[in-house]
A and B are shown apart, each in its own frame.
Chain A
């Protein structure tokens, strides 16, 4: 259901303002979402000042600067720091992306707000609980399904058929798109969301896959697929430049074509 405001206990309150670093000339203000399960209570917005000359080049560097120099209790996920693993997805300056590839030069002016991925239960600080996101990914069965006996070597595919998978297989499951979708905010329990549907389409058009009909059956209800209203947030935010909105439109097309 549409729930424009946050539930009781989830609205962030004004938090602590941390001291400015000494002797810095290029200071920038960051407002970061904080929540600690040990402390409980409402989440809060903490204010940090970062010496941009010493912080590095990417938003992930800012988070490390804060963790190393200002406040070691700040919690966030990260691993590869080069846009491959998808761990550091978060909401930066009001839009989802991965912190490790978001450069200082791409930021809008003013105070930069950093929050966890929207409309998810928060484990701690910038770490959301993505259990249902992964469950939805598992639901679309993102692996090859066949009925014909396995070939002696590999399943072969023409170059043209392989090209169909470009722009689909590159997804790193960072959840930026799915948690950017207002439709997913309101119906995240029933609508599969852009990331899972992009994967669904990746297997629907794979020339080697032989479960196309069953895959479409699994998406055929008022919510799982059709809650996409082409709002386009998914394609706007994808840090890998993929287009889930287009993939979803193509699934809808396949639905129409198989009944006509």
Chain B
């Protein structure tokens, strides 16, 4: 075959642009997003602990941020991320160890439960802290 340089190369067929998400695909990218969020969240919690240990002024600044509405939103999302990543992490262990949960229908159902667990679990934690 003669080697020709194509002036008009073949187009790449659409992928994300047309894909209709399965919930397992959404669960996978959510795992990645919550993992990244937890990485950056660990800087915040470190700042909070360092301030608590060293400097009362810094601590009061961080306290005021946490008690503000946006601080509360961040804390809630953080709780969702922790619970989601934790539950989905266990699922990864079940996949990779005993190979449980690979049936597509099972995997879809479990994904729904993990989302519900993360959101309602975080809500329960918030409810508990306001009651105490």
Contacts and interface: CB of A to CB of B under 8 A. Distances in A.
Do these two chains really belong together in a complex?
yes
Interface of A: 4-7, 9-12, 33, 35, 37, 40, 42-43, 91, 93-95, 108, 113, 115-123, 128-129, 180, 182, 185, 229-233, 235-236, 243, 245-246, 249-250, 252-253
Nearest to A246: B102
Contacts of A128: 13
Nearest to A241: B104
Interface in B88-106: 92, 95-96, 99, 102-104
Contacts of B92: 230
Contacts of B95: 230, 245, 249
Given A229-B28, A246-B102, A119 B13 contact: yes
B17 A253 contact: no
A229 B25 CA distance: 10
Contacts of A93: 20
B18 interface: yes
Interface residues of B, number: 26
A85 B102 CA distance: 26
Contacts of A232: 22, 24-25, 28, 102, 104, 107
Interface string B1-35: 00000001111111111111010110010000000
Nearest to B108: A236
B13 A117 contact: yes
Given A94-B19, A230-B92, A235-B107, A122 B12 contact: yes
Contacts of B16: 4, 182, 185
A232 B28 CA distance: 9
B11 A10 contact: yes
A180 B18 CA distance: 11
Q: Which 10 A-B pairs have the closest CB atoms?
A: A94-B20, A118-B15, A232-B24, A121-B10, A10-B11, A246-B102, A119-B15, A231-B28, A116-B13, A10-B12
Of B11, B19, B102, most buried by chain A (CB within 10 Å of CB) is B11
A23 B14 CA distance: 34
A245 B107 CA distance: 11
B26 to A, nearest CB: 10
A97 to B, nearest CB: 12
Interface of A is mostly: loop
Contacts of B99: 246, 249-250, 253
A167 B75 CA distance: 45
A121 B20 CA distance: 20
Nearest to A7: B12
Nearest to A123: B10
Contact of B14 (A33, A108, A180): A33
A95 B19 contact: yes
Contacts of A43: 11
Nearest to B24: A232
Contact of A115 (B10, B14, B25, B108): B14
Contacts of A235: 102-104, 107
A250 B20 CA distance: 28
17 contacts: A4-B16, A6-B12, A6-B15, A6-B17, A7-B11, A9-B11, A37-B8, A93-B20, A116-B13, A118-B18, A119-B13, A121-B9, A122-B11, A185-B15, A185-B16, A232-B28, A245-B95
Nearest to A39: B8
